[in-house]
Structure 1
Amino acid sequence: MDAVAAEEQQQRKQDKKERKQQPRREGTAGGGKGGGGSKLRGLPKDSHEVRISKTLSWVLRHGAKSENLKMRSDGYARVDDLLALPKMHELDLASLEHIVQKDAKGRYSLVEEIDPLSGQSTRWIRANQGHSIAAVVIDLEPIPSHASIPTGVAVHGTSKRAWEFIKEQGLSRMKRNHIHLAQGVPGSGVISGMRNTSQIFVFIDVQKAINAGIAFYISDNGVILSAGDEQGFLKPDFFSRVETADRKPLPGWDAPEGVPQDPSKTIEGGFSITGASPHHSAPGQDDDLKPSATTQGAGVEDVAEKLSSMNV
């Protein structure tokens, strides 16, 4: 169970507790228009603004069906329909735009397009990733190789407790459509794809997984996404490095954090920069660049020129 699942479990416990404390009154079932009640998501410790933000995220990622919010297959819903929901009664267009613009992780996209039903210009909103709604298929940019990841890193943040399960079974997408990976750890300048409270960092050998037939994508806000294998897992075989929050590698998981260099960027297939396999020690610096038969006869100046052109 990762941090997201743990929070969802805590949310369900809180909902159950509040239902017990508030006896049901006749005629209050159903929540009125929209199909859901007006109760905000979040925990008692959360500020009111945080609870509104969590509710917005939950509706757009998971709760459209239970709230009777009509959603396109690409995840977009009409803003007017969203604001009409009981849970969103405190929001207006201006406050919604403020949330979208100020969201540090770029969770949402807000667009204006012609509504095919009315023919009128209409505002639409969606969550950029994180859906558990199977019918939502967002047009994501495929990642054909490691070279397509801007930072060269794909890492999943989790808890120490969850790691005990993950190291045996792998990362699971659980009820979501994708496993989420960040392009860096907290403090590295990357702000999307990982919680700041993560205790364990699991780095993924993306190229190895791609070579095994697993697809990866990048969302509009820079989160690396994968549905995993047929069972929805990224198995431990694809872990390249695992660290604690203070950046200390766990024993047996101390390979380089990056994923292998795209083969197309090697010198005529003669040089390669690779990460070690998950259960072996990292290669030494002298082994990082290994000449093949195609380059052993090349002059030093020729090799240097090629390396320079590759920005190696």
Structure 2
Amino acid sequence: MNGRKKAMDYIKLSKEISYALRHAPWEYELEIDDEGYVDINQLLASLNELNIYDRLIVKEDLEYIVNNSDKKRHEIKDGKIRALYGHSIINKISKEIAIPPKILYHGTAKKFVDSIVSNGLLPMNRQYVHLSVDEKMAITVGKRRDNNPVILEIDCQSAVNDGVIFYIGNDKVWLCDKVPPKYIKIKLDTK
């Protein structure tokens, strides 16, 4: 090598970090605090032990991912890093309660619509229900499970008035423990 760093596959690294922080911290021997943070040095040591990247991963790589992601999946603060949403780990990550926009959206596969109409939106294998700030984002999320997802409109104003609690995920995602069916309207079938 001529002294230049090899290019890092940041997409692969971002996915690995998300998996470690959201779903399987124990596989990486990570100690997550009550707010979902892990010491950066602990994460770096675990990632570098995998020996699957072309070079050692350094703090600057983590900062690059956090600062250049369009979906803002991670946050670095005081020498620690956490995933902002998408957790399936057992310990619930505490989130800031806030008043959401009047309307939020959720993209889902057609096969789940009947259950949602009956039971509402439930977190399933995640800690929270994820809601999008706009239809475009909801369509993108819904397409992960169905090429022609159904977009649901959530009447957050009525839900808040009735005591449903919402949490800030990030600037594009809001979180909720569950959304009862009476606040859900089928907005769009993307077919």
Give the TM-score of the pair, scaled to structure 2.
0.78
3-state DSSP of counterpart to 1:225: strand
2:190 — aligned with what?
A: 245
1:227 corresponds to 2:177: yes
Decide which structure has greater strand share.
2
Q: CA deviation at 1:245?
A: 2.3
Note the C-alpha offset of 1:132.
2.2
Q: What's the CA shift string for 1:145-176, capped at 9, x where partnerless? A: xxx42xx4211111222224323332110121
The answer to whether the aligner puts 1:208 opposite 2:164 as a matched pair is no
Q: Sort the Cα spacing of 1:139 and 1:172 in 2 relative to 1 into closer, same or farther, 3 A.
A: closer
What displacement does 1:72 show?
A: 1.1
2:25 to 55, 61, 64: 64
Query: What is the CA distance between 1:192 and its match in structure 2?
Result: 8.5
1:55 counterpart SS class: helix
What percentage of aligned pairs have identical amino acids? 28
Shift of 1:238: 1.4
* 1:78 paired residue number: 39
Equivalent position of 1:236 in the other structure:
181
Deviating more after overlay: 132-141 vs 59-68: 132-141
Partner residue in 2 for 1:97: 63
Cα drift, residue 49 of structure 1: 4.6
CA contact (8 A) 1:61 1:129 kept: yes
Using CA pairs under 8 Å that are at least 6 residues apart, name the structure with larger relative contact order, 1 or 2: 2
For 1:192-224, what per-residue CA distance to the aligned partner results, in whole angstroms no more than 9, with x for missing partners?
895272611111111222233321122233411
Check 1:131–1:193 CA distance in 2 against 1; reply closer, same or farther (3 A cut).
Answer: farther
Q: TM-score, normalised by structure 1?
A: 0.50
Q: d(CA) in 1 for partners of 2:120 and 2:91?
A: 25
Distance 2:69 2:142 in 1: 15
Q: Distance in 2 between matches of 1:133 and 1:193?
A: 26
Question: Match for residue 29 of structure 1?
Answer: none
The structure-2 alpha-carbon separation of the partners of 1:192 and 1:238, relative to structure 1 and needing over 3 Å to count, comes to closer
| SS of structure 2 residue aligned to 1:66 | helix
Partner of 2:74: 108
* 1:1-312 map, 5 Å: 49-85=10-46, 86-87=49-50, 90=53, 91-112=57-78, 123-143=79-99, 148-149=100-101, 152-186=102-136, 195=141, 197=143, 199-228=149-178, 234-245=179-190
Does the CA contact (< 8 Å) of 1:192 and 1:222 recur in 2? no
2:138–2:151 contact (8 Å) kept in structure 1: no
The AA in structure 1 aligned to 2:70 is: A
The AA in structure 1 aligned to 2:41 is: D
| 1:62–1:54 distance in 2 versus 1, CA, 3 Å | same
SS across alignment from 2:66 = helix
**8 A contact 1:204–1:238 mirrored in 2:** yes
Q: Which runs of 5+ in 1 are unaligned?
A: 1-47, 113-122, 229-233, 247-312
Decide whether aligned partners of structure 1 residues 180 and 160 sit closer, same or farther in structure 2, where only a CA change above 3 A counts: same
Structure 1 distance, partners of 2:172, 2:128, is 14
Q: Residue by residue, what CA displacement relative to the aligned partner does 1:18-47 show, whole Å, maximum 9, x if unpaired? A: xxxxxxxxxxxxxxxxxxxxxxxxxxxxxx
Distance of aligned partners of 1:219 and 1:102 in 2 relative to their CA distance in 1, 3 Å threshold: same
Change (3 A) 1:192 1:67: farther
